[in-house]
Structure 1
Amino acid sequence: MNQPYDAILIVSFGGPEGIDEVMPFLENVLRGKNVPRARMVAVAHHYEMFGGVSPINAQNRELISALQQELDAHGPHLQIYWGNRNWHPMLADTLRQMKDDGIKRALAFVTSAYSSYSGCRQYREDIARAQSEIGAGAPQIDKLRVYYNHPGFVEPNVENIRAALDRVPEERRDAAHIAFTAHSIPMTMATTCNYEAQLLETCRLVVEGLGKVSDERWKLVFQSRSGPPTQAWLEPDICDHLKELKAAGAGDVIIAPVGFISDHMEVLYDLDTEARALAEETGLNMIRAATVGTHPTFIEMIRELILERMTENPRRRALGTYGASHDVCPVDCCLIQSEVIVQNTGVKRQESEVKPTA
C-alpha cells in the first residue's frame, strides 16, 4: 500500500468542559463578529443548564477511540491527532505537537458531512492559519472529502430513524412525520455553496432506504439560527414546522438531526429541550433519532475515506445523483457572498453572526 501520510487529524468545533470555560469559549467563537454581549450571555445560559459542559469533546474522544481501534485492527496504522477551531485542544497547538513528533503529512477528517463556509472552507482556513503560526516545518494537511452521500453515513441514519419509528405505536407508525434537521446558515453562505442541495440529497437517500415513506411525510427543516431578524437564513425553523404539523393534525413526529454527526449542545438544547417543550405544549408525540456518533458503519466509512487517499485508483463510493465529492476544494469553493464581492472589488466583508455549534 502506498502510504504518503504519517497521521490522521480530527478537526472539530470544540466546546467548554466546565462553567469557567463557557465565556472564554464563546469569546473565541464570536471574536470579530458584531454580537451584543446580551446575546453571548443568553447562549452561555444554554451551556450552564448542562453544567457548562458541551458533550462534543467527549463525543470526539469516543470517535477517536473507535477509529483508532478500527485502524489498529485493519490498517492503515496511523496515529490520530485532534484539534479544534474554538477550544482546547486548539488546532495550532495540535499541529505544533505533530511537528514536534516528526509528522510531515496528515489527512484531516472534519466532523461536518456537508459543504459550506462554516462546515468546510472555514476549517481549511483554520488549518492554514495554524500552519502559518507554526511556520517552517508545519505538517502538510490534506482534507478528506465531504461524505453526506456516502453509504457509511446514510445507512446509520436510516437505521437510527427506523429505530425511532419503531417507538411510535404500530397503528400510528405509517402516519408519523419525519423532520430532518440541520443547522441554518445565512443566505449569504447558502447561495454560494451546495449545503442545502446536499442536505436534501441525504434526506432523499435516507427516505429511500427507509421505504414506504411518502414525500408528504418528510421535510428538511433548520434549527439554531441566530443573527439579526433582518438577515435572511435558511428556513423553515424546526419550531415553526412543529406548529404547522400540529395545525395540520399530525400526532407523531420523528426529528432526525442528519445535519450533525453527534449529539452536541445544539442537539441537546435546541431539539431535546426547546423543540421537545414545544411538542409537549402542543400535544405532539416527538421522538428524536440518534446521530451517527460512533456507529460501526460510520467508523468504517472514515477508514474507507482514508484508504481512498492512500490507494491508486480507489473505489470512491457514493449514493444518489451527485457522485463522490472532490478531494481538493476549488479556490472559490464555499465563499460567503460578500467574499465574492471582495474578490471582484476589494471591499472588506462584514462577519455574520453564527451561533456556536458544539
Structure 2
Amino acid sequence: MGTADTFIKNRLDERKASGIYRMLKPENSLVDFCSNDYLGFARSAMLKNNIVAEMAHYPDSLNGSTGSRLLSGNLKYAEELEQQIAIFHEAEAGLLFNSGYDANVGLFSSLPQKGHAIICDELIHASIIDGARLSHANRYTFRHNDLESLEGKLKQAKGNCYVVIESVYSMDGDTPPILGILQLTERYNANLIVDEAHAVGLYPAGLISELGLQNRIFARIVTFGKALGCHGAVVLGSNLLREYLINFARSFVYTTAASFHQLASVKMAYELLKEVDDEANVLRNYIFLFKQKLNNNSQYKLLPSDSAIQCIVVNSNGNAKHVSGQLQAAGLDVRAILSPTVATGTERIRICMHSFNTLEQVKLLTSTLNTITHAQ
C-alpha cells in the first residue's frame, strides 16, 4: 500500500473508531421527516407534469447545455428566468448558479478582497465558510445571533465589510434578529448578505421579503434544492453585482451551465410557488402541533424554532444514534446529526416537517419521541 493509500486508510479508520464514519444510504420506505422537501415539490405530480408541458414547448432544446454560459451554454431562456426570479423576490437582478454551494463559493471567494472583511455568524453554512476561505479578506465570526458580539467585530473590521447570516439556520432552525443585525451593519457602513436557503417555502419569497427589508440587503442567496424541489441557486442583488459575478465568480465562469431541463424545472417550481398558501398553512399547523405535543422531557432540549426545522439536542453521538435508531424502528425517517458537523456536546436529532406529512404521522412522531430515553 502506497503512502497516500495508507494516509487515506488511517483517516478512515480514525473516523470509524470515533463513531463518525459517513456512509451513503439508498432511499427507503420510511415516513419522511428528514428531507428539505418542505412543500412536497420534489414529489409533486403537478410540478412534474408542468415541467413536461414546458419542455414540450421547446422541442429543439438540447439534453445538455454544451458549455459554460460565457461560451456556448447561455440561453435567452436562462436570462429571462433570472429576471423573473428577481422580480418574484423583489430584487434588481439575479444570477443563476448550478447549486447553492457553487453560489456561496463563487460569491464569497470573488467579492471580498485583501484588506476587506467578512464577518460570519459562527453557525453559518459550510459553503459560505469555504467561499470565505478562498478569498484574501480578513475573516471574523461572531457568537450566534449575538448583536453585541457582532458589533465588536464590526469595530475591528477594515475596508469593505460583508456581514453574513442565514434567515433560517440549517442545523438549528432558528431565525436571527435580522432587523437588529441590519441596523448595525448600516451604522457601520457594512453590507449584509443573507442566505435564504431554508426560509423560502414557509415564507414563499423568503423571510427578507416577508419582513419588507429587501431594498436594504446587499445580496441574498436562494437555493432551489429544498422547498422548490429541483436544483440550482440564484444570487440576488444589484445589476452591478450580477455583472461582477459574471466576470469574477470562478464557480460561474468555469463550469458547464445548467441544462434546459433544469432551467425549466426551476421556472415551473416558481410558478407553483405562487400558489402554495394552502401547503404553507398546513406546514405551519404541523410545526405548531409538533411543538405542542412534544413533552417537555428534561432528557432532551428542543431548540427554539418556528421553522420547518426542529432539532432536539441529545448531547452525544451515541445518544443521537440511539434516538434516531428508535425512530427509524417506528417507521420514521429521522436522522442523527453528529459532531463534527455540529459542535461536540450539541449532537442532535434534526426533524424536518413537511406539508405532505399527515396528522397521524406527526402524532406518531411526537408520541414515539415522548417514550424514548437516552442510551445509557
Coarse TM-score class (shorter-chain normalised): under 0.3
For normalisation by structure 2, the TM-score amounts to: 0.27
